Copies of this chain bind each other. A is one copy, B any other.
């Protein structure tokens, strides 16, 4: 098998120096798999022995809450998936589902641990990533719970436009009830708020195709809402 890791983003992205032998190790022990939209990449409640690297695509991280499914965040390639759930616990504590066509590598956890132990740069990098995502989790949670519907919906739209697709025009990869599960609202409320945004000329929607017409206003709603 050709060692795909050598030109894989997962290494480039880490901006970490890896010795050839370490790349060998990685290359010899992983499997690249494709997922379709809606496919489960990591399933909550299942025993896990792999860290996953998302090479291409976009995925939602979600877990089952007391009364419904809670979407925690959306992530796009390139990124690691399931670090906390694989290290923190043998059993997956959350699910990850592809929301667009995706491509991932499964990396055996023992190999991953070996790399962490051998390569201090790498382990410092991972540590930093974990710190950042914990901070992000705190911020997002505070923001979600304190803002009301319109503010949260504006955040979601801005998140898509600015971080995930980096464009004012994109195909919404979530259903309205998914968005509800993300921002803690009912499907109907999301629907009504979207209609308002359209009526106010803030966005345009043709099917799943969203165009942001007035980003300034959206940012204002995000702040004040």
Contacts and interface: CB of A to CB of B under 8 A. Distances in A.
A147 B120 CA distance: 42
A88 B143 contact: no
A97 interface: no
Interface in A120-179: 120, 123-124, 126-128, 130-135, 137-139, 141-147, 151
A154 to B, nearest CB: 12
Interface in A77-109: 83-85, 87-89, 93-94
How many protomers of this protein does the assembly include? Answer: 2
A65 interface: yes
A141 B85 CA distance: 16
A145 B146 contact: no
A72 B131 CA distance: 15
A113 B133 CA distance: 19
A66 B132 contact: no
A63 interface: yes
Contacts of A68: 146
B85 A135 contact: yes
A65 to B, nearest CB: 4
A119 to B, nearest CB: 11
A189 interface: no
Contacts of A66: 142-143, 146-147, 151, 223, 225
20 contacts: A63-B138, A63-B139, A63-B142, A65-B142, A65-B145, A66-B146, A66-B147, A67-B147, A70-B145, A70-B146, A72-B138, A84-B132, A88-B134, A89-B132, A93-B135, A116-B120, A117-B120, A123-B127, A145-B145, A145-B184
